């Protein structure tokens, strides 16, 4: 059984069919790319998968559970975490506290334990610190753990967003143009980090990118969207040699 199975997903905004009959199957541990020119409907697919928009058609099954029409919180609890095309960090919080926001999903103590600072509170906080630092280390951010998130260079802020999403221990991680605004060195490093995340956490990743050359190096499979429609999908090599895909990009 595929980890994610999407069938004929669709939504319209007024007269615009932003996503039409989008179907995809993603297996556990796969690094899957969703590509297409600007305005193709990629972010809308993420918004549909995460409950920001309710689809007018189609179904979404995650790990055997139908999550179609659920809200963002329910879907996060079901196991999908995402990052956004524009960075959305808690910029006033420290780097480590941004990750701990994600961890709070899993470490629960009662309000009284927190307010009265009972022993369980300190135990849990200590465990969370340890876990957050371990995660930050994967992203080479552990040395900046106690700095404000806003003080990090742009490339590192993007990495912190991924660390925070991973802290919720998702089954599926959605990354919306994670390399947007990065310089070539930062981009290359980020692609290696995404690969490492997949390998180390056995994570399933769906990655949006509009630059074909970036995804070709790391994704095993691709779906190509154009004007809200699936142009083609399958193994990366086959997709990228499809003349229709090349034409869609040249026409950008």
Ligand X SMILES: Nc1ncnc2c1ncn2[C@@H]1O[C@H](COP(=O)(O)OP(=O)(O)O)[C@@H](O)[C@H]1O
* Binding residue (CB under 6 A) for ligand X from 6, 9, 31, 40: 40
C-alpha to C-alpha distance for 53 and 57, rounded to whole angstroms: 12
Q: Does residue 44 touch ligand X according to CB under 6 A?
A: yes
| Residue pair 103/131 in contact by the 8 Å Cβ criterion | yes
Residue at token pair 């142009």: 231
- What CA dihedral angle connects 139, 142, 146 and 147, to 10 degrees? -50
203 binds, among Mg ion, ligand X, none (CB under 5 to 8 A by kind): none
Other CB atoms within a 10 A radius of the CB of residue 36 amount to 27
The SS3 of residue 208 is strand
Q: Does residue 12 touch ligand X according to CB under 6 A?
A: no
Residue 164 vs 210, nearer CB to ligand X: 210
Q: Does residue 33 touch ligand X according to CB under 6 A?
A: no
Site map 158..197 versus Mg ion, x via CB under 5 A: ----------------------------------------
What minimum distance in Å lies between the beta carbon of 103 and Mg ion?
28
Tell me the helices (H) and strands (E) count for the chain, helix number first.
Answer: 10, 10
C-alpha to C-alpha distance for 204 and 29, rounded to whole angstroms: 4
* Binding residue (CB under 6 A) for ligand X from 4, 20, 33, 36: 36
Give the neighbor-by-neighbor strand order of the sheet with 229-235: 80-82, 172-176, 204-209, 31-35, 221-226, 229-235
Residue 48 vs 75, nearer CB to ligand X: 48
C-alpha to C-alpha distance for 70 and 247, rounded to whole angstroms: 37
Residue 18 vs 163, nearer CB to ligand X: 18
What minimum distance in Å lies between the beta carbon of 39 and ligand X?
4
Q: Rg (Cα) of the chain, in Å, rounded?
A: 19
What minimum distance in Å lies between the beta carbon of 248 and ligand X?
12
CA distances from 44 to 67, 68, 87, 120 (A): 17, 15, 17, 42
Residue 85 vs 216, nearer CB to Mg ion: 85
Q: Does residue 18 touch ligand X according to CB under 6 A?
A: yes
The SS3 of residue 12 is strand
Please report, as residue ranges, which positions from 34 to 53 form the binding site for Mg ion (by CB under 5 A). 42-43
Residue 43 vs 233, nearer CB to Mg ion: 43
Site map 62..101 versus Mg ion, x via CB under 5 A: -----------------------x----------------
Q: Which parts of this chain interact with ligand X (CB under 6 A)? A: 13, 16, 18, 36, 38-44
Q: Which parts of this chain interact with Mg ion (CB under 5 A)? A: 42-43, 85
């Amino acid at each position: 059984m595929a980890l994610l199975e999407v069938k004929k997903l669709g939504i319209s905004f007024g007269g615009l069919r932003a996503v039409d009959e989008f179907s995809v199957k993603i297996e556990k541990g796969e690094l899957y790319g969703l590509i297409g020119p600007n305005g193709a409907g990629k972010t809308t697919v993420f918004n549909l998968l995460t409950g920001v928009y309710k689809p007018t058609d189609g179904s979404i099954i995650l790990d055997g559970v139908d999550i179609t029409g659920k809200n963002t919180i329910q879907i996060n609890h079901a196991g999908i975490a995402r990052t956004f095309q524009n960075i959305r960090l808690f910029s006033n919080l420290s780097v480590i506290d941004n990750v701990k926001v994600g961890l709070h999903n899993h470490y629960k103590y009662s309000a009284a334990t927190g307010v009265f600072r009972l022993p369980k509170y300190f135990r849990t906080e200590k465990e969370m610190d340890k876990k957050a630092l371990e995660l930050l280390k994967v992203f080479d951010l552990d040395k900046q753990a106690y700095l404000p998130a806003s003080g990090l260079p742009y490339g590192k802020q993007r990495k912190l967003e991924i660390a925070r999403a991973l802290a919720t221990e998702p089954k599926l991680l959605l990354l919306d143009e994670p390399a947007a605004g990065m310089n070539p060195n930062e981009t290359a490093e980020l692609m290696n980090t995404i690969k490492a995340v997949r390998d180390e956490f056995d994570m399933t990743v769906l990655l949006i990118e509009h630059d074909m050359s970036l995804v070709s190096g790391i994704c095993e499979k691709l779906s190509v969207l154009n004007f809200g429609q699936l142009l083609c999908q399958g193994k990366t090599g086959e997709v990228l040699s499809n003349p229709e895909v090349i034409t869609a990009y040249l026409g950008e």
